[in-house]
Amino acid sequence: MRRLTLALLCATYLCLALIVALTLWRNGGGWGAGLAALIGGLGLCFAFHGLIARAFEAGAIKGEIDAVRQAQMILIDQVERLDARISQMAEAVETDHSRSEELSDEVQLLEGLVQKMQQRMEEGAAQPLAFPARAGAEPRRTSNLFETVREALAENRVDLYLQPIVGLPQRKTVFYESFSRLRDPSGRVIMPAEYLTVAEPAGLVTAIDNLLLFRCVQIVRRLAKQDRRIGIFCNVSMASLADESFFPQFLELLSANRDLAGALIFEIGQTAFDARGSIEARNMGKLAELGFRFSLDKVVDLDLDLQDLARADVKFVKVGAQGLLDELVEIDGRLVLKSLPDLAAEDFAQLTRRYGIELIAEKVEAERQVVDILELEIGYGQGHLFGEPRAIKDQVLAEAGPPPRVLAPTPLRRAAFG
């Protein structure tokens, strides 16, 4: 189009020059004047044509520059989007890498511990097991049960059950307590009263207990990911706290997950707590330094050393509901506890709170018990009345992380199995 325009302009210039030359020639100027007019007119026309051509070129260049600028803006926008996408991918990769490292550390810890467990099982398999005699129990049935328990551990058929702990009087779930259950190949649940009879003599309780402990960490991590601020009580034994092989590695795992400290409460029996040694007390202190709290359960003596409990970072004390109510007696017209006759019964919960300790009434089975518990100003309750232990779905644990392929060797206390 541009070339056609220039050609038409040249033709126009030539016609104008001829017209001027012919006009001068016909008016008596002669051939010389006409020729001079023709040459001069052509020169002026071509000079003017040069100006027009440069104007066309300048316009074309400006259009190209505008096009380049527009293309550059589009390119910059695409680069910014690509940079944002790369940043998101980098963050995702970094998160996955961090997550993989956490899971890798956990699995490595368990793999290191399982070697001792496997060695112990192999040694035990070469020796006859002395199971305690049970009325009506056949040796063959006992042996089959042992094999079922052993296979359940080897194939990771250990389920985590949670029972709610509610705030009173609203009865809103604020904590859970964890329990473990085994399954046979058909899916039948094996209750603790059944499998402990063969698991304890064979040393298999160690695997069940510590697997429960690690799964508590898993589920707490899952709940924290959902931004659910609900704590889980998980039983831990003094044997685990004193184990030179297990505890340092477990402490390392908890150090990497110290952001979960507010949601994981370690539970210890009263008898075990009172009999703890210096090693156990020191290791409890290390957990407390990370922010983890403790709970005292299986309480048989309400005459508690509250100062000692506070120093050990015990923040909860569980008391059986019926046992607590059986402790109530009337002396000189006021209601007191047999273990604490100098203290009014309704002041017991207030006294523990002064030391930062909350009472939990467990094994609550009837509404009447709730009324009596509320009169004692106890803030938490646990029992079948508020909810039975329920299994955590495999999908929840899978989202929290792959289930451990291995088992830890250190025994936890029997109370972990409810």
For the domain that residue 280 is a member of, what is the CATH number? Answer: 3.20.20.450
Whether 146 is covered by a domain: the verdict is no
Within this chain, do residues 175 and 74 fall inside the same structural domain, yes or no?
A: no
Judge whether residue 402 has pLDDT over 50: no
**Which range scores top for mean pLDDT: 19-33, 34-48, 295-309?**
295-309
The pLDDT value given to residue 49: 62
The pLDDT value given to residue 346: 92
The pLDDT value given to residue 162: 92
Within this chain, do residues 209 and 357 fall inside the same structural domain, yes or no?
A: yes
Within this chain, do residues 172 and 93 fall inside the same structural domain, yes or no?
A: no
The pLDDT value given to residue 350: 95
The neighbour count for residue 331, using CB atoms within 10 Å, is: 10
The pLDDT value given to residue 281: 95
Tokens coding 137 = 């129990």
Range 244-264 average pLDDT: 85
* Max CA separation in the chain (angstroms): 154
The pLDDT value given to residue 193: 78
Q: Which residues of 178-212 are buried (b: 16+ CB within 10 A; e: fewer)?
A: bbbbbbbeeeeebebeebbbbbebbbbbbbbbbbb
Range 231-254 average pLDDT: 84
SS3 413: coil
Whether 171 is covered by a domain: the verdict is yes
More confident residue, 382 or 34: 382
Within this chain, do residues 89 and 196 fall inside the same structural domain, yes or no?
A: no
Whether 356 is covered by a domain: the verdict is yes
Residue that terminates a domain, selected from 70, 101, 132: 101
CA dist 243 and 23 (Å) reads 123
Range 269-290 average pLDDT: 94
Judge whether residue 335 has pLDDT over 80: yes
Residue that terminates a domain, selected from 79, 101, 123: 101
Within this chain, do residues 221 and 352 fall inside the same structural domain, yes or no?
A: yes
pLDDT one-digit tens code per residue, 102-146: 545 554 555 554 455 555 555 554 444 444 544 445 566 677 887
Q: Is the peptide bond before 248 cis (omega within 30 degrees of 0)?
A: no
More confident residue, 178 or 152: 178
Q: Which of 170-179, 322-331, 391-400 has the lowest mean pLDDT?
A: 391-400
- For Cα atoms 282, 287, 289, give the angle at the middle one, nearest 5 degrees: 90
pLDDT one-digit tens code per residue, 28-59: 555 565 565 556 666 666 666 666 667 767 77
What pTM did the predictor assign?
0.65
pLDDT one-digit tens code per residue, 198-215: 776 766 665 676 777 777
Give the total number of structural domains in the chain.
Answer: 2
CA dist 401 and 215 (Å) reads 10
Q: Model confidence at 232, in pLDDT bands (50, 70, 90)?
A: very high
CA dist 384 and 369 (Å) reads 12
Within this chain, do residues 60 and 168 fall inside the same structural domain, yes or no?
A: no
CA dist 319 and 324 (Å) reads 7
More confident residue, 173 or 405: 173
- For Cα atoms 79, 81, 82, give the angle at the middle one, nearest 5 degrees: 60
Whether 157 is covered by a domain: the verdict is no
Give long-range contacts, CB 8 A cutoff, 24+ apart: 402-406.
402/103, 402/107, 403/156, 403/215, 403/218, 404/106, 404/107, 404/110, 404/156, 404/211, 404/214, 404/215, 405/107, 405/110, 405/111, 405/156, 406/107, 406/110, 406/111, 406/113, 406/114, 406/117
The pLDDT value given to residue 129: 47
- Which candidate, 117, 191, 108, places its Cα nearest to that of 149? 191
Whether 257 is covered by a domain: the verdict is yes
pLDDT one-digit tens code per residue, 72-87: 777 777 777 777 777 7
Residue with tokens 């429960």: 212
The pLDDT value given to residue 332: 84
Task: Give the residue numbers spanning the domain of 237.
Answer: 162-417
Whether 253 is covered by a domain: the verdict is yes
